[in-house]
A = this chain, B = another copy of it.
Amino acid sequence: MQNAIWNAAVDPDEGLPFSEEYEFFVPVRLLGGEKAVWRNRSLLPSLGKRCLLVTGKHSAISSGARQDVEEALKAEGISWSVFDGIGENPTLEACRAAARLCREERADFVLGIGGGSPMDAAKAVAVLAADPQLPEDLLFSKKWPAEPLPIAVVGTTSGTGSEISNVSVLTCSDGRKRSISGPSLYPTLSFGDPRYTYTMSRAATITTGLDAFAHAAEGYLSPKCGKITASFGEMAIPVLWRNLYKLYKGEELTETMHKELYEASLWAGFVLAANGASFPHPYGYVLTERYGVPHGRACTTFFPALLRRVEETAPSRAERLLTLCGCSREELEEVLYSLSDTDSIRMTEEEIEGLRSRFHGLKHYANVPGGYNEEWGIALFRELFLEKESGRGKTL
Which residues of A come within 8 Å of B, CB atoms? 1-2, 4-9, 19-34, 36, 39-40, 226-228, 231-232, 234-235, 238-239, 242, 263, 267, 323-326
The answer to whether A30 and B25 touch across the interface, beta carbons within 8 angstroms, is yes
Min CB distance A244 to B, Å, is: 14
Q: Are A235 and B20 in contact (CB under 8 A)?
A: no
Are A33 and B9 within 8 A (Cβ)? Answer: no
Q: Are B6 and A242 in contact (CB under 8 A)?
A: yes
- Within 8 Å by CB of A30, from B23, B33, B34, lies B23
Closest residue of B by beta carbon distance from A46: B183
Contacts A21-B33, A26-B26, A33-B22; A234 near B2 (Cβ below 8 A): no
| Pair B39/A30 contact, Cβ less than 8 Å | no
Cα–Cα, bound, A1→B326 (Å): 9
Chosen A-B contacts, 25 in total, with CB atoms closer than 8 Å, are: A1-B4, A1-B323, A2-B326, A4-B4, A5-B5, A5-B235, A8-B8, A9-B238, A20-B32, A20-B34, A22-B33, A23-B29, A23-B31, A23-B40, A24-B26, A24-B28, A24-B30, A24-B32, A25-B29, A26-B26, A27-B27, A27-B28, A228-B235, A228-B267, A231-B234
Of B6, B29, B33, B235, the residue contacting A238 (CB under 8 A) is B6
Residues on the B chain within 8 Å of A234, using CB = 5, 8, 231
